[in-house]
């Protein structure tokens, strides 16, 4: 890696605070030190309070050079009116690259972009080692623009999530990061079925916070591979007090897996699901129904889009 970058070359790293990008950043930091600048972009599609909390954690516990960039309006403006999931992913992938390239210009002397791309991202996005179907364009693979000013460095490209976590422990990445559930690069945009708006993002952030709190309180957060809410593009009739409501539906998705290539739906306790549902309906204005996804991968993917 030193030879590729050179003795004086600099790189930027797309950092999301998840397992993959943090381990990639730690690995490259081990090789070239302060010549790497990590760029953490608030795309307006993160979980509630994630931008501030993650930057604080990484600055406190890891010796990474991190720059935070607020770009939520830029992403949401471009996503206005867009409903197709592939289009969403490609729009988000391009804006990320625009932000990274802009930051690279400001830093000067940057020729490379580090990404935490994993093998499952590649498999689902492009044909690898023979003919295969494109399942979905991950923003950091098939969602990238055709022309880029920066060359890619992807040290984890042929690894699976469980392997990346092992490397992260060897590098001293905080356990709080390593045990986080996977979170898609496009963020909540691919968990909002249909158009992405600021109002819908806020609604889904509230649902995500409740699910996370209840899983941790029940001691079940680490027993599932991934758990998250999805905002559906439908409304249903409900009753709140003596009044009729016509509001949105949230689906809960929770799966168990080893590497994310296959997954089974998690048999969460009914009393936990009841608490999650009751809280979402009572605490989130605009939600009156919660459903549970019992589909496995295959045939269903883990994420809905």
Each residue's pLDDT, cut to its tens digit, for the chain (305 residues) gives 655 665 558 999 999 989 999 999 999 999 999 999 999 999 999 999 999 999 988 888 888 999 999 999 999 999 999 999 999 999 999 999 999 999 999 999 999 999 999 998 888 655 445 554 555 555 445 556 777 899 999 999 999 999 999 999 999 999 999 999 999 999 999 999 999 999 999 999 999 999 999 999 999 999 999 999 999 999 999 998 889 999 999 999 999 999 899 999 999 999 999 999 999 999 999 999 999 999 999 999 999 99
Contact indicator for 276, 210 with CB cutoff of 8 Å: yes
Domains and CATH numbers, the chain: 2-178 (3.40.50.620), 197-292 (3.30.300.10)
Give the C-alpha separation, 185 to 190, whole Å. Answer: 9
Return the SS3 of 17: coil
pTM assigned to the model: 0.87
Contact indicator for 229, 211 with CB cutoff of 8 Å: yes
Give the C-alpha separation, 185 to 89, whole Å. Answer: 9
177: nearest Cα among 38, 21, 303:
21
Q: What is the pLDDT of residue 131?
A: 52
Q: What is the pLDDT of residue 6?
A: 58
Query: Dihedral sign, CA of 208, 267, 120, 233?
Result: negative
Q: What is the pLDDT of residue 4?
A: 63
Residue 299: is the preceding peptide bond cis (ω within 30°)? yes
Give the C-alpha separation, 29 to 4, whole Å. Answer: 14
Q: What is the pLDDT of residue 169?
A: 96
Give the C-alpha separation, 211 to 18, whole Å. Answer: 18
């Amino acid at each position: 890696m030193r030879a590729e970058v050179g003795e004086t070359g600099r790189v930027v790293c797309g950092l999301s605070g998840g397992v993959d990008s943090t381990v990639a950043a730690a690995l490259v930091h081990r090789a070239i030190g302060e010549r790497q600048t990590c760029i953490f972009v608030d795309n307006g599609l993160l979980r509630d309070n994630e931008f501030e909390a993650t930057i604080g954690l990484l600055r406190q516990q890891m010796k990474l050079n991190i720059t935070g960039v607020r770009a939520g309006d830029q992403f949401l403006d471009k996503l206005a009116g867009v409903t197709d999931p592939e289009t969403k992913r490609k729009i988000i992938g391009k804006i990320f690259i625009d932000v990274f390239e802009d930051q690279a210009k400001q830093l000067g002397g940057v020729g490379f972009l580090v990404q935490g791309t994993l093998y499952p991202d590649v498999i689902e996005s492009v044909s690898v080692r023979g003919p295969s179907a494109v399942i979905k364009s991950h923003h950091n693979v098939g969602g990238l623009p055709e022309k880029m000013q920066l060359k890619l460095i992807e040290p984890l490209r042929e690894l699976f999530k469980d392997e990346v976590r092992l490397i992260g422990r060897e590098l001293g990445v905080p356990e709080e990061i390593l045990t986080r559930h996977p979170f898609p690069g496009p963020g909540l945009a691919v968990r909002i079925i249909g158009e992405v708006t600021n109002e819908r993002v806020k609604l889904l952030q509230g649902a995500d916070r409740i699910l996370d709190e209840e899983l941790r309180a029940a001691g079940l957060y680490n027993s599932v591979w991934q758990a998250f809410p999805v905002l559906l593009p439908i409304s249903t009739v409900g009753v709140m007090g003596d009044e009729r409501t016509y509001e949105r539906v949230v689906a809960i998705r929770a799966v168990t897996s080893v590497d994310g290539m296959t997954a089974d739906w998690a048999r969460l306790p009914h009393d936990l699901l009841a608490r999650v549902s009751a809280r979402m309906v009572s605490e989130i204005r605009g939600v009156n129904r919660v459903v549970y996804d019992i589909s496995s991968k295959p045939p269903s993917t883990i994420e809905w889009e």
